[in-house]
Amino acid sequence: MVTFARGLGAARSGDSATARQDLARLQALREAMLAAKQHYWAEQAEIQRRVVAAWLARAAGKNHEALEGMQAAANLEDATEKHPVTPGPLVPARELLGEMLLELKSSVQALQAFEASHQVEPNRFQGLYGAARAAEVAGKREKARTLYTQLVTLAGQTDSERPELVEARTFLAQR
């Protein structure tokens, strides 16, 4: 998890050298798990490796390769049965696909990816925010209103100044 989180963060923030190191570490971990016949965990490492590789491609401006890689990671994750003692992925691959599509100005496809992620991983703060943002950008104002309302409800009665909540409240205050 640490290697994946660091690699994903590095790739998304432009630290390609660190991301490549973590990508290699994920590959080595995957191979060690395969050798130990821990196929479920090897597949999880493969999903994570594909995600980091896709975001590295995105950072390099290879958008087609990045989208193909994220789609492959999301499809593999969708096809994987959840292990009974795990809480689920750190960040769902399909949610990350939605974020990538939103960055690439494909808001309708991004919304579809976020909604598909919600079917498996409901009520994730970033997933709801991403879906609301995608709906807003796609011009689906009522859908955005519904999703921003769910986001604010999920956050509860907090006075948080998280940018996502500020944006949601600002949107909801508009008529």
pLDDT confidence of 45, banded at 50, 70, 90?
very high
Domain that holds residue 61: 1-90
Residues 123/127/128/129 CA torsion (nearest 10 deg) = 140
Looking at the structure, do residues 118 and 78 belong to the same domain, yes or no?
no
Give the global pTM.
0.90
Looking at the structure, do residues 51 and 106 belong to the same domain, yes or no?
no
* Domain total in the chain: 2
pLDDT tens-digit readout, 136-145: 999 999 999 9
Looking at the structure, do residues 68 and 5 belong to the same domain, yes or no?
yes
Looking at the structure, do residues 79 and 132 belong to the same domain, yes or no?
no
Residues in contact with 117: Cβ distance below 8 Å, sequence separation at least 6, in sequence order: 92, 94, 95, 98, 124, 127
Looking at the structure, do residues 77 and 96 belong to the same domain, yes or no?
no
pLDDT confidence of 55, banded at 50, 70, 90?
very high
Q: What local confidence, expressed as pLDDT, does residue 46 receive? A: 97
* Domain end among 90, 110, 128: 90
Backbone angles phi, psi at 167, to 5 degrees: -65, -45
pLDDT confidence of 158, banded at 50, 70, 90?
confident
Looking at the structure, do residues 145 and 71 belong to the same domain, yes or no?
no
The two tokens of residue 130 are: 């991403």
Looking at the structure, do residues 128 and 109 belong to the same domain, yes or no?
yes
Q: What local confidence, expressed as pLDDT, does residue 99 receive? A: 97
CATH number for the domain including 154? 1.25.40.10
pLDDT at 83 over 70: no
What is the three-state SS of the chain? CHHHHHHHHHHHHCCHHHHHHHHHHHHHHHHHHHHCCCHHHHHHHHHHHHHHHHHHHHHCCCHHHHHHHHHHHHHHHHHCCCCCCCCCCCCCHHHHHHHHHHHCCCHHHHHHHHHHHHHHCCCCHHHHHHHHHHHHHCCCHHHHHHHHHHHHHHHCCCCCCCHHHHHHHHHHHCC
The two tokens of residue 154 are: 């999920």
